[in-house]
Amino acid sequence: MSQANVTRYHPLARALHWVLALAIVGNFILGVYMSDLPFSPARLQYYSWHKWAGVMVLAFSAVRLVVRLVFPPPPLPLNIEAAMPAWQKLAHHATHAGLYLAFFAVPLTGWAFSSAAGFPIVLFGLWQLPDFVPVSESLADVLKEVHEIAAFSMAALVLLHVAGAIKHQVIDRDGLMSRMK
């Protein structure tokens, strides 16, 4: 089937979209919640879970990127594209590009922060992942801020993405969301 005839995302792309959506939203909520807790065994456990989820988001994001390259997304339907003002087309493409950047930036900056802080990531309590920056308190301070900014930026992009989907579903009623169902 030619790309011109494809109207829905590949099934694996759709599955990864929803798995990553749940993982990213859940991990963001956990990250915000745990950061204000007092030091305790529970907080340490939440940090471990947050790191594990971050590594899984990174891995699934890599798979999702490969799937996107192998099975490109369907083009916007001509009637929808024709109805969209130029700024909406720009927002559509910029939001998707920003999300893909964030899929990698957020977990990688978190991993770097963890490394710089001297707290290795031990995936599922079994496999210690390599540190890729040296232990450094000043670097950890910077990376913590970068990770937080990246995470909140991704949250804003997710909200923008959801708002666009809701607009297409509720206001435009153009069936655009059916491409990802």
What is the pLDDT at residue 1? 43
Angstrom CA distances, 104 to 56, 72, 110, 170, 181, stand at 11, 19, 10, 31, 24
Distance CA 53, CA 23 (A): 7
84-123 pLDDT, tens digit each: 899 999 999 999 999 999 999 999 999 999 999 999 999 9
Q: What's the average model confidence in pLDDT over 36-59?
A: 95
CB 78 within 8 A of CB 27: no
Which tens digits make up the pLDDT trace of 60-81? 999 999 999 999 998 888 888 8
Residue 157: what residue type? L
